[in-house]
Structure formats: C-alpha cells, structure tokens
C-alpha cells in the first residue's frame, strides 16, 4: 500500500531532519462509489463516524492498528477506505476480504496495517 507524497515527506523530515511530526490524528474513513481521490463519497447517516486509529510499536517496517469497530452503519455499499492524518490522505484502497462485516449487529471491524518498503 503506498502512501501519499505529503505524508511521506512529513515522516522523512521528522526522521531525518529532527523536526516534529505535525500531522493530525490518524483516522480511517469509509467511502461509497469509488476511492476517496477518485470522487468517492464518505459514508454518512446511521451511526457512522470516522474511527481514530491507535497503533502498537512498529516492527520490521510495519505498523498495525488496534481493531476499530464501525457501528450502526447506514444501508449503503461501502467500496473503499481512506486513512487520513488530519485532512491529509495517507493511503486509500478498495475494500478487500480483510474487512469483517457482522450483518447481525450491523458492524464492520477493521484492523489497518501499514508498511514501508524502502
């Protein structure tokens, strides 16, 4: 999964120049219709709220979030997600089988992995 240039630049500057990372809270948002960067529309309605991601320590150039749960989702087709640092899109992806939907409770449980292959 590739990250956007503004996000990577901010990480590089923090790591190599000793600057403070000034990105925002990391959130995962769900989208209908398409990817966020390709006219996707963020889900609205029901009890949908973008979820804040928290992470364990990185290992082997990979960091993994704790599981988040979207509850009371509206009746809609969710086709993609976007991960944001504040208003900056970090990465996006069409939904894959790694998302587990529990239709009996109208929940979507997600764990997010991010790795750098530099």
pLDDT value of position 59: 84
pLDDT tens digits, residue range 62-93?
A: 888 899 988 888 877 788 899 998 888 888 88
pLDDT value of position 29: 94
pLDDT at position 113 over 70 = yes
Q: Are strands 113-115 and 100-102 parallel, antiparallel or unpaired?
A: unpaired
Tokens of 37: 């960067």
Q: What are the helix (H) ranges across the chain?
A: 5-16
Largest CA distance in the chain: 50
Q: Which domain holds residue 47?
A: 5-115
Please classify residue 68 by burial: count the beta carbons closer than 10 Å to its beta carbon, then call 0-12 exposed, 13-18 middle and 19+ buried: middle
pTM: 0.79
- The structure tokens 């764990």 sit at 111
Domain count, the chain: 1
pLDDT value of position 100: 46
């Amino acid at each position: 999964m590739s990250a956007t240039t503004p996000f990577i630049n901010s990480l590089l500057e923090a790591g190599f120049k000793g600057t403070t990372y000034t990105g925002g809270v990391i959130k995962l948002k769900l989208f209908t219709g398409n990817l966020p960067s390709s006219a996707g529309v963020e889900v609205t309605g029901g009890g949908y709220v973008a979820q804040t991601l928290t992470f364990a320590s990185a290992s082997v150039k990979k960091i993994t979030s704790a599981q988040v749960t979207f509850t009371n989702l509206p009746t809609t087709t969710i086709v993609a997600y976007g991960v944001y640092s504040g208003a900056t899109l970090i990465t996006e992806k069409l939904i894959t089988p790694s998302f587990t939907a529990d239709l009996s409770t109208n929940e979507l449980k997600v764990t997010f992995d991010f790795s750098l292959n530099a």
